Amino acid sequence: MKGLHGIIFSFEYHNNLRELTAHRMPASVPFAGRYRIIDFILSSMVNAGVTDVGVVLHGNYQSLLDHLESGKDWDLSRTHGGLRLLPPFSYQHSGVTRQFRGKMEALAGVRSYLEEIRQSHVVLADSDLVINIPLKDVYQAHLASGADITAVCTSNLCGPEDATWFHLGEDGRVNEALFDLRNPAGCHRSLEIYILSKQLLLDLVDECISRDEVSFRSGVLLAKANTLNIQSYVWDGYAAQIRSVKEYYDRSMELLDPSIRREVFHPKRPIYTKERNDASTYVDPSGTCCNSLVADGCTIEGTVENSILFHGVSVARGAEVKNCILMPEVTVHRDAVIQHVIADKRVEILESRTLMGHENYPMAVGKDSKI
């Protein structure tokens, strides 16, 4: 069967998301008022007509399971295909089962799943990427170019420290892949979305494992840029690799800009997420709310400015919330003042407390804390 099969890698490796990933993986960090980060790439796949998606789990995946459930909110709860959750402990080596160390090892652990893929091609993606990309176009470009692998990358150099970098030739071919680059000027940054045929993926998995090469980056991109035809697909629209609190804060706040919001929430490519049953948000006469993104189920009786409110947030009379991100069910009590704060789920800011972060160092408050 022609078409794309999706595989999304979630992972719990070293990042700077601090409190935000204390109870969850980057994939299920709340983002943009009503989503989890994984919703964006998952919706991009669904909107490109992908019907079968495997999500490779890792680390503390309870919160991700709660979110994805059967996949029904992405229309992926299917009799044939649909969402498949792939456990992290299936990699067996010398009789020992343990968590995988890299993408190739993860895929080797679920090799029988790979063999059963019904589609001719596979799109691999990371789960810490916020993007709304027409993957159909990327797939078309892949087929048209005849490349072995098509890699989505951006010319925007501001990204996470551990990015993968590409030197592109004039024909758009990836001549060299690098990482840990001190000065990436002239390079393109990989967004870690790759399209390749199912057969090539199986061959690469087998080859990497036989050489004890656990990672896709070093085993395929770095090692094979010369022998494989790796083509680039340059995407300069909104794309955020969320790997630090600062990145999380900055890329969230960008959503208050209407032009960026139009890119992320494209009317023809909706972002799906787990539906919740909240009533509409109520703004009291004593409250004011401006330049803010507000999910349903909130009660606003205080002042809210330049902020992002997830569902069920309540801001009491006299409270002041400025430049903040308040995750689901956060309560800000009377006369509390908070600025540049990221408050995780169910955080409570008690009466008359003052909490100030700074633009350069937003203050993250861990889940369920009471201040």
Partner 1 sequence: MKKECIAMLLAGGQGSRLYVLTSDVAKPAVPFGGKYRIIDFPLSNCANSGIDTVGVLTQYKPLELNSYIGSGQPWDLDRMSGGVHILPPYMQEGEKGSWYKGTANAIYQNIGFVDMYDPDYVVILSGDHIYKMNYGKMVEAHKAAGAACTISVLEVPWDEAPRFGIMAVDGQDNITEFQEKPKQPKSNLASMGIYVFTWKKLRQYLIDDENTPGSSNDFGKNIIPAMLNAGEKLLAYRFDGYWKDVGTLESLWDANMDMLSRGDLDLLESSWPIYARLPAEAPAFIGKAALVEHSVVTQGCEIGGTVLNSVLSHGARIEEGAEVHYSVLMPGVTVKKGAVVKYAIVGENCSVEEGATVGGDPADSDPDKWGITVLGPGTAVEAGETVAPNTMLNRNHKEVSR
Please say which residue, 176 or 284, places its beta carbon nearer to partner 1: 284
| Minimum distance, C-beta of residue 279 to partner 1, in the bound complex (Å) | 4
Please tell me what DSSP assigns to residue 267.
T
| Minimum distance, C-beta of residue 31 to partner 1, in the bound complex (Å) | 11
32 counts as binding partner 1 under rule CB under 8 A: yes
| Minimum distance, C-beta of residue 40 to partner 1, in the bound complex (Å) | 12
37 counts as binding partner 1 under rule CB under 8 A: no
Report yes or no: 175 and 167 within 8 Å, Cβ to Cβ.
yes
Please say which residue, 183 or 277, places its beta carbon nearer to partner 1: 277
Looking only at residues 225 through 244 of this chain, which bind partner 1 when binding is defined by CB under 8 A? none
Tell me which of 156, 284, 335, 353 binds partner 1, using CB under 8 A. 284
| Minimum distance, C-beta of residue 43 to partner 1, in the bound complex (Å) | 8
Q: Other C-beta atoms within 10 Å of 358: how many?
A: 10
Helix (H) or strand (E) holding 62: helix 62-68
| Minimum distance, C-beta of residue 287 to partner 1, in the bound complex (Å) | 8
120 counts as binding partner 1 under rule CB under 8 A: no
Report yes or no: 251 and 130 within 8 Å, Cβ to Cβ.
yes
Please tell me what DSSP assigns to residue 279.
-
Three-state DSSP at 300 gives strand
Looking only at residues 10 through 29 of this chain, which bind partner 1 when binding is defined by CB under 8 A? none
Tell me which of 150, 232, 292, 331 binds partner 1, using CB under 8 A. 292
Q: Which stretch binds partner 1 (CB under 8 A): 10-18, 153-161, 226-234, 259-267?
A: 259-267
Q: Other C-beta atoms within 10 Å of 162: how many?
A: 13
Report yes or no: 299 and 315 within 8 Å, Cβ to Cβ.
yes
Cα–Cα distance list, 354 to 246, 301, 341, 342, 368 (Å): 21, 18, 11, 14, 18
Please say which residue, 89 or 265, places its beta carbon nearer to partner 1: 265
* Distance from C-alpha of 275 to C-alpha of 73, rounded to nearest angstrom: 7
Please say which residue, 23 or 274, places its beta carbon nearer to partner 1: 274
Contacts made by residues 322-331, CB under 8 angstroms, sequence distance 24+: 323/253, 323/359, 325/249, 325/252, 325/362, 327/30, 328/30
Q: How many residues bind partner 1 (CB under 8 A)?
A: 38
| Minimum distance, C-beta of residue 35 to partner 1, in the bound complex (Å) | 9
From 327, 107, 297, 84, select the one nearest 196 (Cα to Cα). 107
User: Rounded to an integer, what is the distance from CA 107 to the centroid of its chain?
Assistant: 19
Looking only at residues 167 through 186 of this chain, which bind partner 1 when binding is defined by CB under 8 A? none
| Minimum distance, C-beta of residue 33 to partner 1, in the bound complex (Å) | 3
From 189, 226, 205, select the one nearest 122 (Cα to Cα). 205
Binding site for partner 1 (CB under 8 A): 32-34, 43, 72, 256, 258, 261, 264-265, 270-273, 275, 277-285, 287-297, 299, 308-309
